[in-house]
Amino acid sequence: MAPKVSKFAPFRSKKLDLGCFVNTLVLRDHTKRKVFEKVEPQRQALRYIIRNTSLPQRMRAQAQLQLTQMHCYTRPTQIKNRCIMAGRGKGILGDFRMSRFQFRLNALAGNIPGVKKASW
């Protein structure tokens, strides 16, 4: 029996391997990451066909069409880093995967190893 797929969230993964703050936006981002991971070889193959000038023009055009017709969730540009403590999508410090305010709170609380208030 095929697994039941939600009508509204067809790509949502069955297992949420998330260990952070969760809200709708975080869930959506998680889904996009999963989908992209799954279809990446296919995307790369299509991209290769499109860029390979030794292949027939018709084949390349078809590959182009196929790539553009893929679901938007399969695009790597849809993936956005989000704060693991608050789910915020702006002002993320990549080193800590946290938004600026959460970073400040945690740094002041001494939860981030080695980070101290600076004065020079």
CB of 22 to another protein, least distance (A): 20
**Interface with another protein includes 89 (CB under 8 A)?**
no
Contact characters 5-24, another protein, x per CB under 8 A? --------------------
**Interface with another protein includes 93 (CB under 8 A)?**
yes
For residue 72, what are the contacts with CB-CB under 8 A and spacing of at least 6?
78
Is residue 60 within 8 Å of residue 52, measured between CB atoms? yes
Distance, in Å, from the CA atom of 14 to the CA atom of 31, rounded to the nearest integer, reads: 10
Is residue 81 within 8 Å of residue 25, measured between CB atoms? no
Alpha carbon of residue 64 to chain centroid: 23
Number of residues binding to another protein, judged by CB under 8 A: 15
CB of 77 to another protein, least distance (A): 26
CB of 104 to another protein, least distance (A): 5
Contact characters 96-115, another protein, x per CB under 8 A? ----xx-xx--x-----xxx
From first CA to last CA, the distance across the chain in angstroms is 65
CB of 84 to another protein, least distance (A): 16
30 is written with which tokens?
């998680």
| Residues that bind another protein in the complex, under the rule CB under 8 A | 93, 95, 100-101, 103-104, 107, 113-120
